[in-house]
Structure 1
Amino acid sequence: DVVQLEVLLLGPPKVSEKVNPRQSVRLGRTAKLPCPVEGDPLPIMIWSKDGRNINGGWTRFKVLQHSLRIKEVETDDAGTYICRAINGFGSANINYTLIVIVRPRFTEPAKMRRRVIERPVGSSVRLKCTASGNPNPDIVWLKDSKPLVDEEGGERKKKRWTLSLKNLTPEHSGKYTCHVSNKAGEINATYKVEVIQRTISKPILTGTHPVNTTVDYGGTTSFQCKVRSDVKPVIQWLKRVEPGDENKFNSTIEVGEYRFVVLPTGEVWSRPDGSYLNKLLISRAKEEDAGMYICLGANTKGYSFRSAYLTVLPDRKSQPSSIPPVPYQSLPWPVIIGIPAGVAFILGTALLWFYQSKRTCTSSSSALPAAQRLPAASRDRACPALPAQSTTADKDSLSYEEYLAHQQLLLAQGGAGLAPKVYPKIYTDIHTHTHSHVNGKVHQHQHIHYQC
């Protein structure tokens, strides 16, 4: 009987208690999703988020025996979670939708820095409180801590994050507060609006602009004009037409003694200090762009203007060179031909002389017997050596007296083998004369003929 009872308890997993399929958690907190499933045998729990199985690599996620824990919840953790319990008899699923609650915050704080706003009667103002959060926050506008009620006449217009006040009157002065909230928290921002009762006066050009400007030819520059006015003014740029150039323009206007042409005007920007700004851009400046420019600011009460001059530097590419070119003067053709010919003649003569000297010395020296040749130093002194045939025997050079003694020795030994020409650069020949005198004496002497 006991065995039969155990068989009856075996089966697929089952959800043991009811759960809320929508779970909420605040940003940065810890979320815990339960999975109350029972079964025999004990089922295995598998968790997934948006179709992806959760594993050990998900550092902030931890799968427990009957739940899933998420630490320090982030906005990306929101999504669909499924707990799937499996055993040998089947499976069971529990689905969750996790909502991460984020308290409201202002998304454009730079546009909310100016909290005290002054406007004249009849003008308009816009108050912004752009915010975000999860779930989407609600916004409520208050004036002097009381809910703002829409009035007839369209003086107030509310969008989701902006409050527009038009045709201002002194009654619009006060403190305006935007109250932004959701289930995670709330934030507030307060503006102080002062509607000034004063008559509208003509515009005033503030600051120093426009100022005189210089630009390179083909360059880009700009004039700017800053106008203070109780209402939005009309800002217009004019350029003075030089005398004689009136026919170049379709239409001109006369102001005093001069005529001006109206230039295209860009957008007029409203500045936080209540003034208005406009810029005139001049690109690819040319000579005809130079001249007087006027910024004119006007409203229903009058106008104000201020002038400035633009100077365009000359085009450097079109200017002739300040240094006149030196005209090329050609040399006479006899000089052009004579100079190279003279150099070639001098070099050829020098080479021919060196070659002839070497050839004569070598042939005459080698024709003598070894015993009758002068030492090497004497030959080198007799024949000028070429640079490539230098000698180291300069210290052994032979004097003229030593040379004569050497020749006398040769004569004493017979003199028969003397050659008629030994060193043609020093002497031509050597011969001996014998004379008999009347007194019976015999005189013998030697003749040496030199060649200079």
Structure 2
Amino acid sequence: MLSNGHAHWTGDDPKQVYAICVASLAPVVVDHPQSLVVGKGDPATLLCAAQGNPHPAITWLRDGTPVSTSQDDPHSHRMLLPDGSLFILATRMNKKESDAGTYTCLASNTHGSARSTSATITIATLHSQFVVVPVNVSVTSGQHAEMSCVPPRGNPPPTLSWLRNGHTITPNNRVLVRQDGTLIISEVLQTDEGEYVCVATNPAGIRRSAPAILDVIVAPFWVKAPRDVAGVVGGRAELKCRVGGEPPPTVTWRRAGGQVPVGRARVVKGRGLLLEPLTPQDAGVYLCTAANTAATITANATITVLSPPRMVDMPGDVEVEEGQRLFLRCTVEGLPPPLVYWAKEGSQAVLPAGITTTEQVYLSHSEVAKAGAVGGTKAQYEVATAGRSDSGHYVCGGINSAGGVMARVTVHVRPTLPLPPPIIAVPPTNQTLPVGVAATLRCLVESAAGVGVGHQPAVRVSWTHNGHPLTNSPRHHIRADGTLTIKG
């Protein structure tokens, strides 16, 4: 029975043959391209899929002109995908060539052709210069503040947003952005002060205006709040702290849980704090307080004191006998605790981790330890059985973010004294035996090597029969003590 161009099995005969009737079909576009707006140099894909029998071939037109793809020119940046979609690796727009335009997908076979709906590719543009840039504004707390911004020209027209201290501003019942891009802040608060940037965005990219400062008068505010710094022992560390306000606030420094070092700390230009020379004890949290008749504000920053690695435990030159244990150990202190390693001169690789072990140790006698930090790392390198190839110069190194240190030792592996040759103490004797009777031939050997000393191999006993070597077999067996047994 035929249905919808197909034959169906209606009987019970398992040998019945199916028949399929496939109709010839003119092309039909089933997936149409959609218009795109992309940035110059960005990839773009225009979708197109068609059905038909035979399967239709896909070609593309741009503004009515056939589009050349990599099938026509291997160097083309346009590719025709297997499903018929057009992929542009990097969109172009210059005096010689442009990918912008109106595109149409054309599907064809022997029964006709079909066109997709048209889709456009628009190459977005965005100039770099803002028409109007925001400027610094000073307002009294509780008043109204405005910042104007007109974005650069672009296609499509860019959208505007604002950043305050690097964070996107979300409009609310007190902060809004007008259609012309102006930022309006009602009833300005002290927390509104900071650095404002106008951001213009479209598919061609993002443009940021020069920053503008909003100063809220009366209460102190930070122009440059202190930030965490790090310094090396013996060097210097400076915490910057710049404030504004009316009347001008006074600035004081203190240390959380301790005192600012006397004689080595001073307030410098801009009311920052300079410590010089640094010691491990200077590490900690420092607070900058700005106060006037309106308010008091405080910010904190951490000083981290780094100590370059210093070798505190290093072995001298080492001499061991071949076959003995080789053990090297060194300890390096520093802040942060250094990475310590062993390496052999002549090899660019660090000695294997399976042989070298490291651990952090507390050095109670060191200046680093007195600062209350784990300041040392111990590295051990061990060879259970030293060979002559282990002789040479070894380097223990320690590194951290403040510097590095290395120390060198020489290892000499002495060869062991050669052993005398083995002696056959009990040689085999002649025997006369009946056929079928097992035979035992003894060969007892005495040697200083025994079962193996150092790198000297153990004695090995072998047998020959009429000049031919014997090995273990179903009839011949050589015991561990050298005795040969022969089955009857």
- TM-score bucket of the superposed structures, by smaller chain: 0.3 to 0.5
More strand by share: 2
| Higher RCO, 1 vs 2 (CA within 8 Å, ≥6 residues apart) | 1
Q: Which has the larger radius of gyration?
A: 1
TM-score after normalising by structure 1: 0.38
